[in-house]
Amino acid sequence: MRLFLDTANIDEIREINRWGVLSGVTTNPSLVAKEHGDPEAVWKEILAEVDGDISLETTEPDAGPMYEEGQRLAGMAPNAVVKVPMTAPGLEAGRRLAADGVRINVTLVFSPAQAILAAEIGAYCVSPFLGRLDDVGADGMGVLRDICELYAVQGYASNVLAASLRHPMHVVEAALAGAHVATMPYDVFTKLVKHPLTDVGLEKFLADWRAIEADQP
């Protein structure tokens, strides 16, 4: 399962990219707005920083302008992936973009039925939002499992991108469910590396090593 950062903040991206485990970045209009800069400049920096898929989201509500916007976004760099929303215009624009060879990410997916539609238009990936489902008392992980199963049963080529992940166990369970990609905010990414027994173990190893050094003549 590939690991993506869900952020538009270049400092967060640079830090995690140094670990050597970052395969891509997902952005959305809310994340770009937090950076208070020109969106094109924000995207360009990210596209140049990470050698992997970078999702840039369309904001035009109608199919025609959304298609044109998608073409423009796809032209920004070879690693750009264009996000279209799971709406009727999003399907129409997404299908045209996919037919042109643009890799599309169908976003704001909350049900297996929507995921079938995304696969049928030739989406490169489909993004079920787990955390937002959990927020309204639904079973986000159950929806993800169903989508992974039905894509396998049907032999759909689209990647399942588990999104709106809120904690490390979401990431682990998404991997067990068979998601191809997990995208998560910076704080969830940094929690993946942490375990209290690692800290305690390292502290003891280093204390013992310092004792050896102190014993040396």
Residues that bind ligand E4P (CB under 6 A): 6, 26, 28, 107, 127, 129, 131-132, 163-164, 183
Question: Please, what is the minimum distance in Å from the beta carbon of residue 32 to ligand E4P?
Answer: 10
Name which of 98 and 127 has its Cβ closer to ligand E4P. Answer: 127
d(CA 20, CA 60): 35
Parallel, antiparallel or unpaired: strands 125-128 and 2-6: unpaired
Name which of 39 and 131 has its Cβ closer to ligand E4P. Answer: 131
Question: Please, what is the minimum distance in Å from the beta carbon of residue 183 to ligand E4P?
Answer: 5
Instruction: Name the amino acid, one letter, at 42.
Output: V
Question: Please, what is the minimum distance in Å from the beta carbon of residue 96 to ligand E4P?
Answer: 21
Read off φ and ψ for residue 85, nearest 5 degrees.
Answer: -75, 155
- What DSSP state is assigned to residue 178? T
Name which of 74 and 163 has its Cβ closer to ligand E4P. Answer: 163
Q: Which residues of 53-90 are buried (b: 16+ CB within 10 A; e: fewer)?
A: bbbbbbebeebeebbebbeebbeeeebbbbbbbbbebb
Name which of 142 and 201 has its Cβ closer to ligand E4P. Answer: 142
Question: Please, what is the minimum distance in Å from the beta carbon of residue 196 to ligand E4P?
Answer: 26
Task: Note whether 70 and 104 are within 8 A (CB).
Answer: yes
Told to judge if 83 belongs to the known catalytic residues of this protein, a careful annotator would answer: yes
Active site residue ranges: 83
